[in-house]
Amino acid sequence: MLSIARHAPAKINLALHVTGRQTDGFHLLESLVVFTRYGDSITVAASRDDSFSVSGPFADAVPDDGGNLVLKARDRLRDGTLPPCGPVAITLEKNLPAASGIGGGSSDAAATLASLARLWGIGDDGMAAAARGLGADVPMCLAARPLMARGIGQDIREVEAFPALWMVLVNPGVPVSTPHVFRALSCRDNPPLMPLPRRPDLDSVLSWLAVTRNDLETPAMTIAPPIATALSVLSRNGAAFARMSGSGATCFGIFATETAAARAAMAIAAAEPSWFVVSTRTTASGENFDD
């Protein structure tokens, strides 16, 4: 029986500026997004009946009903085919904490779309159409390359020649509600991002990040003070730059080398055994996860 597996990476907002708000309430954003080698995994296979199973350290946080983005992705892709494609068994290995600002659910949905499109012989147009109906983050996760996202997330442009970054991800295990974070914003009309360096390398990226922001970081810390602790811990353990991703509570630290990142992750995990801590690398422009 044909089985297809797909990596579902963490989505990291290196910078996130809130630049306005539409009349319908959706916020306008500008964000530089990258994706990590560490993440969840989706496996799909033709089956006699539809099924969905979850394993991994964060399996208990995954709903198994219609609210799950993996199942929504399956159903939306299937609904676009005539006749509808047959039943499938979907397995999710959940290694990323849920609702933590790193796009885990959206990345799982994107990996599901890509796997099922291959299994069912559906082209890129059908896959992209299904992704657009699942939220702004899913098309980004389908691209899974360094990109700039603008508007409400629908305007996506891949970034050329962006380097891979060694990174440590830390989540102190506190729940953060994205709507609550946006409601706590003191200003919704902030300056946009500066242009990226022409030839980005680690030093120029760090210099660029130093003059950018995550406008959700301060309101998130008022709701969940352990975020500030996580950022401080990353800096104390040698991160050249530390910031919260998305609406939190996951924070990232950028390190100069793989060894430095691994050492920092080991030290933080030993000091904070209840936290989610992992060292990883982001993918560079033009790089595939199977490279």
Which of these is catalytic: 40, 108, 137, 215?
137
pLDDT class for 291, splitting at 50, 70, 90? low
Domain range 166-281, its CATH number among 3.20.20.70, 3.40.50.970, 3.40.50.620, 3.30.70.890: 3.30.70.890
Reported as a single tens digit per residue, the pLDDT across 69-94 is: 999 999 999 998 888 899 999 999 99
Asked whether residue 275 carries a pLDDT value surpassing 60, the answer given is: yes
For the chain, percent of residues with pLDDT exceeding 90: 90
Annotation says 94 is catalytic: no
How far apart (Å, rounded) are the C-alpha atoms in residues 285 and 134? 25
Average pLDDT over residues 44-55: 96
Q: Examine the pLDDT at 163 and tell me if it is beyond 90.
A: yes
Contact call for residues 26 and 155 (beta carbons, < 8 A): no
What are the residue boundaries of the structural domains of the chain, listed by start? 3-158, 166-281
According to CATH, the topology of domain 3-158 is Ribosomal Protein S5; domain 2 (3.30.230)
pTM: 0.96
pLDDT at 83: 83
Of residues 266 and 1, which shows the higher confidence score? 266
Mean pLDDT of the chain: 95
**pLDDT of amino acid 1:** 54
pLDDT level of residue 170 (50, 70, 90 thresholds): very high
pLDDT tens string 199-223:
999 999 999 999 999 999 999 999 9
Active-site residue, selected from the candidate residues 11, 40, 94, 215: 11
Which residue pairs from 225-233 have beta carbons closer than 8 angstroms and sit at least 24 positions apart in sequence? 226/172, 226/173, 226/174, 227/172, 227/174, 227/176, 227/251, 229/172, 230/170, 230/171, 230/172, 230/275, 233/170, 233/268, 233/271, 233/272
Respond yes or no: is residue 137 known to be catalytic.
Answer: yes
